[in-house]
Amino acid sequence: MEMSFRLNGKQVQAEVRPDMVLLDLVRELGCYSVKRGCETANCGLCTVWLDGKPVLSCSVLAMRAQGRHVTTLEGLQKEAEEFGMFLAAEGGEQCGFCSPGFIMNVLAMERELSDPTEEEIKEYLAGNLCRCSGYMSQLRAVRKYLEVKAQQKGGRE
C-alpha cells in the first residue's frame, strides 16, 4: 500500500505492507536511531514522536502514520545534542544503546510537563529501560537539564 506522511519535517511517500510496523518503516527510510530492543513494547528503544507525542514504534502499524508527522532523533539533533551534554556530564550515557529512545522521551517530557517533580519524571520515563546505568546518573542529568531549560524560559518571558 502506498502512504504519505511527514518524517522529520519532510514529506515522504512509502510502500508499506499491511502488517509493517512504524519501527521498520522509519529504519528503511534511514532513521537508524530508532532501535529494536525487546519487540514487546517494554524497553522504550523504539520511541518516536507521532504528531509530537511519544509512541513505541514497534507497536504502531506504519499505516497509522498516514498523513501525520513522525519525528525521530534525526529530526531533533540540536535538542538531542543539548541534552546529551547533560547526560554525558553525569555519566549517564554508558553504552548509549538506550540513549535515543530515552532522549526522545526526555525532550517530549520537557515540552509537555511544567516543573515536574522527581516522581513525575520517574513516571514519565518508566518505560525506558537501561541495562548499564542504574538510572541515578540519568535522573541527575534530566533534573539539571530541566532546571536550565526552565531558567531559559523564565528569561524569555
Domain 2-74 carries which CATH code?
3.10.20.30
Residue 64 CB: number of other CB atoms within 10 A? 16
Judge if pTM exceeds 0.85: yes
Three cell numbers written together for 88: 554525558
CB 17 within 8 A of CB 79: no
pLDDT tens, position by position, 72-125:
999 999 999 999 999 999 988 878 788 899 999 999 999 999 899 999 999 988
pLDDT tens, position by position, 41-81:
889 999 999 999 999 999 999 999 999 999 999 999 999 99
Q: For position 98, what pLDDT does the model report? A: 81
Q: Residue ranges per domain, the chain?
A: 2-74, 76-152
Pick the CATH number of 76-152 from 3.40.50.9100, 3.90.226.10, 1.10.150.120, 3.30.70.660: 1.10.150.120
Q: Which helix (H) or strand (E) holds 130?
A: none
CA distance 139 to 120: 12
Q: For position 112, what pLDDT does the model report? A: 93
